[in-house]
Amino acid sequence: MVIDIENISKKYGKRQVLTDVTFSAKSGECIGIIGANGCGKSTLLSILAGVQRADGGKFLCDGKDLLTRDDLRNRAVGYVPQGTPLLDELNAYDNLFLWYDKATLEKELAGGMLDTLGINEFLKVRVSRMSGGMKKRLSIGCALAHYPPVLLLDEPMSALDIACKQKIKDYLKEYKTKGGILILVTHDTLELELCDRCYIIKDGKTVPFKFSGDTEELVREIS
């Protein structure tokens, strides 16, 4: 599978947030998107997920534009926003059951991706009583219900402890190994290690950036 993001643009009133966001990825690759606060990183992901409409551009998946085909995008794309789109009054199992049929859910909990994410550890815990790490793992589990080949993640490890970050990183490495495509908004060096290529959004455009492991360099580039 190949995806091509071409000339995505978005304006809020008179403010041009995205002007020309362009990059591509193929199966098994992770693309990192970095940039200063307010540069349009989260806006980009919400457009690719179909939450917002772009003013221009294309999101091609094997040549078909997912921005104009909701049916194809819903099958091809999973989305994990910064917030946790979960029902607080339900426990983990019941939230998952909104997305999975019973047979598939039991299979994934018994040794599939939900097991890898460690969701078995808190299946009966209500969302309102979960830690941030539990909510994030559950959100990823819900986004993967239909085995989407493209996964969009907005700072998935933000404010999590080291153990939880490592669990999520291990799963995302496995997802890549199985041919999935990741588009990852991040400033976290652990997440950047997953990326095959990185782009900074500057003045609404994507600029290639090679992360050397130097955190100070990263801060300079995005400031």
Phi-psi domain of 170 (left: phi exceeds 0; alpha: psi -120 through 50; beta: other): alpha
pLDDT higher than 90, residue 3: yes
pLDDT, tens digit (0-9, with 9 covering 90-100), for 114-143: 998 889 999 999 999 998 889 988 999 999
The values of phi and psi at residue 167, to 5°, are: -65, -45
The CATH number linked to 44 is 3.40.50.300
**Nearest residue to 209 (alpha-carbon basis) of 32, 4, 27, 24:** 32
pLDDT, tens digit (0-9, with 9 covering 90-100), for 169-202: 888 998 999 999 999 998 877 788 889 999 999 9
Domain assignment present for 63: yes
Domain assignment present for 215: yes
pLDDT higher than 80, residue 213: no
Domain assignment present for 52: yes
Q: Is 182 helix (H, G, I), strand (E, B) or coil?
A: strand
Q: Is 152 helix (H, G, I), strand (E, B) or coil?
A: strand
Q: For residue 12, what is the enclosing H or E element? A: strand 2-12
pLDDT higher than 80, residue 218: no
Domain assignment present for 90: no
Write down the mean pLDDT value for the chain: 90
Domain assignment present for 91: no
Domain assignment present for 61: yes
Confidence of residue 26 (pLDDT cuts 50, 70, 90): very high
How many CA atoms lie within 13 Å of 127's alpha carbon, on the beta-carbon side?
Answer: 18
The domain total for the chain is: 1
* Position with higher pLDDT, 119 vs 166: 119
Domain assignment present for 161: yes
Full domain range(s) for residue 182: 2-83+148-222
User: Could you give the percent of the chain with pLDDT greater than 90?
Assistant: 66
Report the pLDDT value the prediction gives residue 189, as an integer from 0 to 100. Answer: 79
Alpha-carbon distance of 148 to 150, in angstroms, equals 5
| pTM listed for this prediction | 0.89
User: What is the DSSP pairing of strand 197-202 with strand 205-209?
Assistant: antiparallel
Domain assignment present for 111: no
Maximum Cα–Cα distance across the chain: 51
- In whole angstroms, what separates CA 73 from the centre of its chain? 14
